[in-house]
Amino acid sequence: MEKKSIALLLTVLLVASITIGLFALPQLNLLPRSLEGLKTFRNTGELEFFLEANTLKEWYPGIRMPGVMVLESQAETPAAGIGAKGPSEVDFSQTNVQVEGIDEVDHVKTDGEYIYLVSDNRIIIVKAYPLDDAGVVSVITINNTPIGGVYVYKDRLIAVAEWGRYYILEGAAPAVETVDTSAEPKALMPMPSMPITSVYIYDIQDRETPELVKNISFTGWINDNRLLDNILYLVITEPTHVYNYEKEIQELVLPTYYIDGDKYDIDPNEIYYSGDMKDTGFQYTILFAFDLESFDYDYVTVLTGYTNVLYMSYNNIYLTQPEWKSNVFSRNEYKSMTKIYRFSVDGLTITPEAVGEVPGSINNQLQLDEYKGFLRVSTYGWKEVRTGPAFRVETYTNIFVLNMDLDIVGSITGIAESEQLYATRFMGDYAYLVTFRRIDPFFVMDLSNPTSPKILGELKIPGFSSMLQPLWNNLVLGIGYEVDNQTRIMRLKLSLFDVSDPSNPKEIGKLIYKEADWAWSEAAYNHRAILKIDKYGYVGIPVREDTVYIDPATGVKKLREGYLMLNASQEGLEKIGLLTIERTLNETYWYRSPYTRGVYIDDILYIVTTGQINIYQLPDLLYNSTIPMPTPQS
């Protein structure tokens, strides 16, 4: 009996030592679980029982709240800003994406002849080239539904709603048969209600009279999307429960979608789930594939916790789910984790394949990259250690390399301890990271050997870059901020890095924006706001100042903005123009979220806003003309 007790004790100690090792960050390397073992529910009763049994009743201190799901793509050679041939065989810009051939939704698109721009709940189609025929040709209005962005595929215009209307569960989602898709919602209470968001597909063979040909709606949120060839991939989040105000209870609902107003419920036996999954809240995540030519579609539905990033390569979609775990032996210690799901994609077919887990947080789409059969990720991790009412937070940055089974095969952990990860960019065999606390370490990681990644070079400079944009000739543009030592003002900063020698990166150019006391750029956090003109070595980014002034001629209050044009070369970074844009203050209220984009067609540069399009001649940036946009009242 005594021998059995000793043996049992040794076994417990062995298991404990292994478990402690698993929970020691940042060396954590949890074994992944194959998605081949995913189950589906037999009925709604089994679904409801699972949710009740596996929903954690306690929110851990500092637990992450639901994030915004985004979809990103990365190829072996980033193709940001590469021009294309339009109907007239002229060169024109495309949205600054990560992988050539996978388009990303944006406020502005051009096909080399027309410009399509979003203005709140309107899409304005502008004849842009040649200039002799330039002008607004039509306006599409979708009532009560702000538009998040558009795609253009041949003679198809795709509008993606940014958020949805609400409808009562007893009724049906409004059918959409005309360009005006308004529908007055019924009273929201006391009946339970659900949001509805939509994708609207228009035939634009005749740009003057767009025709709505398809409406796809969901009882949830279209978080993000991508367009690969003729297939539109949508990522939808739908709640598992809705609150019934009349009964004062949470009621289970099934995921639902509509095609031209016809309702379809997704059956429990179509919902994948992992039997050992636990979370503080569950949701349905639908990966929906739609053929823009045949109008065929397919989907896969997975019960997940809160998801925050979706990343797409040519062959796979990766879905990440943040977690906040406690040490099994100490409830006073919590650690950030991220679960990663992989789904293979082939046209309309989406197949669950694998799942893994990495320490740390993946909060930005650029933190993932598939390359030569491996997934590379950067994570920013923190460990919260509580001692009574007080606690301390330990931070670190990691790089992990995973195979297609999502096993971790290589890693660099504990990079830049006590600093925060601000930017990541993967380029071929290398990864570039920026962390920040007081100075800006710019790291170069060698990932050529997936099982043995290593830090190759490091550069320490003031400030930080929150966006890294690959350019040409081994140049990388950093967009971020730096504190002016004299005025203590945080100013917009652009850095040009030469990474031709990865072991010795250099900052060969630097520009501090001093035209205003405070200015920011959307390009510092959204790569789609960056314009590259490879032909001339130009880069363009929007800049918004805090300068409000009164126009002496009209007495109207205005907000000054600009579009900054740069020349980036081995000689450094040169400012070649600041193209001024002025908005009246009430224009900010007319339009929910004003933006600025630069596009080019041939040697003509168009600076596009919701209020106007300013036209310049390349390469000298000579002003040509302005096309005013119709106001919502017109």
Q: What is the pLDDT of residue 169?
A: 53
Cα–Cα distance, 384 to 389 (Å, whole number): 12
Question: 242 pLDDT exceeds 70?
Answer: yes
**Backbone region of residue 87 per phi and psi (left: phi > 0; alpha: psi in -120 to 50; beta: other values):** alpha
Q: Is residue 514 part of a domain?
A: yes
Question: 447 pLDDT exceeds 90?
Answer: yes
Q: Count up the domains in the chain and report the number.
A: 1
Q: Is residue 446 part of a domain?
A: no
Q: What is the pLDDT of residue 61?
A: 38
Measure CA 389 to chain center: 36
Pairing of strands 271-273, 297-304: parallel
Q: Is residue 352 part of a domain?
A: no
Q: What is the pLDDT of residue 20?
A: 34
Q: Is residue 237 part of a domain?
A: no
Q: Tell me which residue range forms the domain holding 596.
A: 477-634
Cα–Cα distance, 341 to 34 (Å, whole number): 10
Question: 392 pLDDT exceeds 90?
Answer: no
Cα–Cα distance, 206 to 137 (Å, whole number): 10
Q: Is residue 164 part of a domain?
A: no
Q: What is the pLDDT of residue 309?
A: 84
| HEC profile of 113-153 | CEEEEEECCEEEEEECCCHHHCEEEEEEECCCCCEEEEEEE
Question: 337 pLDDT exceeds 50?
Answer: yes
Q: Are 150 and 169 in contact (CB under 8 A)?
A: no
Q: Are 115 and 128 in contact (CB under 8 A)?
A: yes
pLDDT confidence bin for 247, thresholds 50/70/90: confident
Q: What is the pLDDT of residue 335?
A: 73
Q: Are 600 and 94 in contact (CB under 8 A)?
A: no
Backbone φ and ψ for 131, nearest 5 degrees, come out as -65, -25
Q: Are 207 and 127 in contact (CB under 8 A)?
A: yes
Residue 286, C-beta contacts closer than 8 angstroms, at least 6 positions apart: 218, 220, 234, 235, 236, 237, 238, 255, 257, 266, 299, 300, 301
H or E stretch including 14? helix 2-22
pLDDT tens for 340-389 read: 989 999 999 999 898 899 999 898 889 999 999 999 999 988 766 666 66
pLDDT tens for 87-140 read: 557 899 999 998 888 999 999 999 999 999 999 889 999 999 999 999 999 999
Q: What is the pLDDT of residue 333?
A: 54
Residue 6 DSSP one-character state = H
Cα–Cα distance, 322 to 282 (Å, whole number): 12
Cα–Cα distance, 495 to 113 (Å, whole number): 34
Cα–Cα distance, 514 to 533 (Å, whole number): 24
Question: 466 pLDDT exceeds 80?
Answer: yes
Q: Is residue 601 part of a domain?
A: yes
Q: Is residue 616 part of a domain?
A: yes
H or E stretch including 51? helix 44-54
* Residue position matching structure tokens 């950067």: 378
Q: What is the pLDDT of residue 400?
A: 97
Q: What is the pLDDT of residue 24?
A: 35
Q: Which residue has the higher pLDDT, 255 or 62?
A: 255
Q: Is residue 512 part of a domain?
A: yes
